[in-house]
Amino acid sequence: MMVSEHCAARRPISTSRKLDEASGRLVTASARLVRAAARLEEARQCMLRDPELAPGGPALLVEATARLVYMGNLLNETADFVFNLHEDVLQGLATGELVPERSELPRPRIALFPRPAPVREFLRARLRRVVDRISAVLQRRRRTRLPASLRVPRRTSQGRAPPLFPVCLL
């Protein structure tokens, strides 16, 4: 926020964007603070049910509540500061007091276009029959079989593999 305050005159548009991002972060922090307050209330309810199980609990609860109130006040002051600064920047842009910075010069972009295959060469390489075109792809996709040492018998419906040798030798 302090950086945004100093560069607002030179770069009001980027300052406005940064302040908008900061206000989003403040909303997230506020939601976390509300969740923390709810958790403190849950802890208080638990301590009320069984006070003998939490001998140091009330002191911790008072300390956590004091930190929660402090953070709430700090968050409120920060949100006011960000809102006022953002309002000043937008008002300065509206009145013409602040001049929007030029957008960055457009960088040369490298566009990669696929090179089309020359038609004659494509037609020369194209096989006439569909079977001839597909068979080459299918042959490339065949998998090599695993060696016998790596093959594992299939599981049966009971969840056990079949025995490797017959049980009855008769």
Identify the residue with better confidence: 84 or 112: 84
pLDDT at 120: 62
C-alpha angle 44-49-52 in degrees, rounded to nearest 5: 95
What is the spatial distance between Cα 86 and Cα 23, in angstroms, rounded to a whole number? Answer: 10
pLDDT at 38 over 80: yes
Return the half-sphere exposure (C-beta side, CA atoms, 13 A cut-off) of residue 97.
Answer: 9
pLDDT grade, residue 16 (50/70/90)?
confident
What is the spatial distance between Cα 41 and Cα 36, in angstroms, rounded to a whole number? Answer: 9
The mean of the pLDDT values for the chain is 77
pTM more than 0.85: no
Phi-psi category of residue 96: left, alpha or beta, with phi > 0 → left and psi -120 to 50 → alpha: left
pLDDT at 68: 93
Return the half-sphere exposure (C-beta side, CA atoms, 13 A cut-off) of residue 66.
Answer: 6
pLDDT at 89: 86
pLDDT at 169 over 60: no
Which whole number is the average pLDDT over 116-141? Answer: 64
Tens digits of residue pLDDT in 66-109: 999 999 999 999 999 999 988 888 888 888 887 777 766 566 66
DSSP state of 8: T
